[in-house]
Amino acid sequence: QAAWCVLPSRVLLVLTSQKGIQMYESDGSIMVYWHALDVAEHLPVHADASSGLSAGTSSGLVLVFDIPPKGTNITVSEVLEQHHDAITDIAAELGQAPDGAGDLVTADDAGTLCIWSTGEEFTLLSKIPAFGCCCASVKLWNGIVAAGYGNGQIRLYEAATGLLRAEVNAHARWIYALDLAPQTGKLLSGAEDSFVHIWKLSRNPDTDNVEIEHCHAECVTDTQVCGARFCDPEGNSFAVTGYDLSEIYCYGRA
């Protein structure tokens, strides 16, 4: 995986592989840190709400790194051990978390979700048990956890309590990608069934219930979608790719 991790005082380009984690300045010019691994690990990575960065391993560990405002004095500050299966995705709060809600969520290959409150130390707020299906992608927005599963479902949970608020049979096959547009609450889902769907997340102002509305569907013909991302914070355009593709398809408003 490759990702730009936006921290309060700097932006790092982070590359992860089976051999370890490489952290570069945002333009890729200088490598500022290298974290080697003794065994082959899959490593999803994400910036968290504090000044750190989190990476997950195939053994179920979540590594938390302390990142200084500048320089190369990067250290592993904490190791989180709540998962017993490979970490598949990590997501930080993209909107405004309600009081008491977590600001980081981790997902694993069995489908277990852990919701954390970050700070000087990470605190586990809620652990959502697995139900026999892998959670391949997860997002967190305004206290809502959106999780995409191997059975094609999208499930929405409260980040404060872990309670299930909504579930949608969104795809016919495995969901591999979720993305959220933080300014509008649009949710993008891409799956092996060749479809990309756009949804709108919101809270009912009268009941505070979590609601999801379908907005758009796009079929990428003969393509098992494995990656999909919005290209802007409003969710007006998005990019898609699939297995065995050397192209990236970009979609936008006409």
One pLDDT digit (tens) per residue for the chain, 254 residues: 788 888 888 999 998 887 888 999 988 889 999 988 765 454 565 555 444 567 777 888 888 888 898 889 998 888 998 998 889 999 988 878 778 888 899 999 999 999 999 877 889 999 999 988 999 999 999 999 999 999 999 999 999 999 999 999 999 999 999 999 999 999 999 999 999 999 999 988 888 889 999 999 999 988 999 999 999 999 999 999 998 889 999 999 76
The Cα 18–Cα 40 span in angstroms is 5
Q: Which fold has domain 84-253?
A: Methylamine Dehydrogenase; Chain H (2.130.10)
- Domain ranges within the chain, ordered by starting residue: 1-81, 84-253
The Cα 153–Cα 151 span in angstroms is 6
Distance from CA of residue 107 to its chain's centroid? 9
- Token code pair at residue 27: 């333009």
The owner of tokens 């003794």 is: 38
**C-alpha pair distances (Å), 28 with each of 13, 41, 42, 221, 247:** 7, 23, 21, 34, 22
The Cα 224–Cα 50 span in angstroms is 36
1 near 16, Cβ under 8 Å? Answer: yes
167 near 144, Cβ under 8 Å? Answer: no
pTM over 0.85: yes
Q: What is the amino acid identity at position 101?
A: A
